[in-house]
């Protein structure tokens, strides 16, 4: 069971804010995803996710940002210029609501903003948000070697509930399945 007091007491940089992802965030989020996973065969189609009733995507952004980030990437039909401004995106989390469960399907913090509590903030915000759907369980899968993510999930109260052998094909590796039971 998750301990919400512990979750909300975590110290996070006061300049970080969370909101629902919107269409103007998709270039910045794709940029973060590409930098975090440069060898993926395909990346999230955020526009498609916005059209799904069961899809929940949140982003973190800096209200004031001292770190200069200058990145330009050209996507097929979308030019994104991520620079430091009032709505700069630092990470995102994506999930699907399936019956009384929440499946986490996307979760990335920009490499230069890791270890500032942003991942924690995203996960806590998603779980808080799922309260309005009376969800009972949060599920996810993670690479067996992904210590950063596994540590974070365990601290939150997620428990290992299974393995999928050779689940990841891009650098073949097992998946660990983890669950978090939510308090009703």
Residues assigned a catalytic role:
141, 153
CA 72/CA 27 separation, integer angstroms: 10
Binds ligand COA (CB under 6 A): choice among 81, 147, 159, 181: 147
Q: Of 85, 87, 91, whose CA–CA distance to 115 is shortest?
A: 91
Cα 151 to the center of its chain, rounded Å? 15
Which one among 115, 134, 165, 171 touches ligand COA, defined by CB under 6 A? Answer: 115
Q: Which stretch binds ligand COA (CB under 6 A): 46-54, 72-80, 127-135, 142-150?
A: 142-150
Q: Give the residue at shortest CB distance from ligand COA.
A: 119
126 makes contact with ligand COA (CB under 6 A): no
Q: Which two tokens stand for residue 58?
A: 């949140």
Report in angstroms how near the CB of residue 67 gets to ligand COA at its nearest: 14
Looking at 142, 176, 180, 182, which residue binds ligand COA (CB under 6 A)? 142
Q: Which is nearer to ligand COA, 9 or 184 (CB)?
A: 9
Decide if residue 36 touches ligand COA (CB under 6 A): yes
Is 2 a binder of ligand COA (CB under 6 A)? no
Q: Does 145 bind ligand COA (CB under 6 A)?
A: no
Cβ proximity to ligand COA, 74 vs 162, nearer residue: 162
- Asked whether the beta carbons of 141 and 164 are under 8 A apart, the reply is yes
Report the interface residues with ligand COA, using CB under 6 A: 36, 107-109, 114-120, 140, 142, 146-149, 151-152, 155
């Amino acid at each position: 069971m998750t301990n919400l007091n512990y979750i909300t007491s975590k110290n996070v940089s006061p300049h970080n804010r969370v909101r629902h992802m919107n269409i103007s965030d998709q270039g910045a989020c794709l940029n973060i995803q590409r930098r975090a996973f440069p060898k993926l065969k395909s990346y999230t189609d955020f526009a498609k996710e916005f059209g799904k009733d069961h899809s929940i995507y949140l982003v973190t952004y800096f209200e004031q940002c001292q770190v200069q980030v200058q990145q330009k990437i050209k996507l097929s039909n979308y030019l994104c210029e991520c620079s430091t401004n009032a709505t700069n995106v630092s990470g995102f989390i994506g999930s699907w609501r399936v019956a009384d469960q929440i499946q986490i399907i996307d979760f990335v913090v920009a490499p230069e903003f890791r270890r500032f509590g942003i991942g924690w903030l995203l996960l806590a915000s998603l779980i808080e948000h799922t309260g309005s759907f009376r969800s009972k369980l949060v599920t996810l899968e993670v690479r067996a070697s992904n210590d950063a993510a596994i540590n974070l999930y365990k601290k939150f109260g997620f428990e290992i509930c299974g393995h999928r052998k050779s689940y990841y094909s891009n650098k073949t590796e097992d998946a660990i399945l983890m669950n978090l039971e939510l308090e009703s």
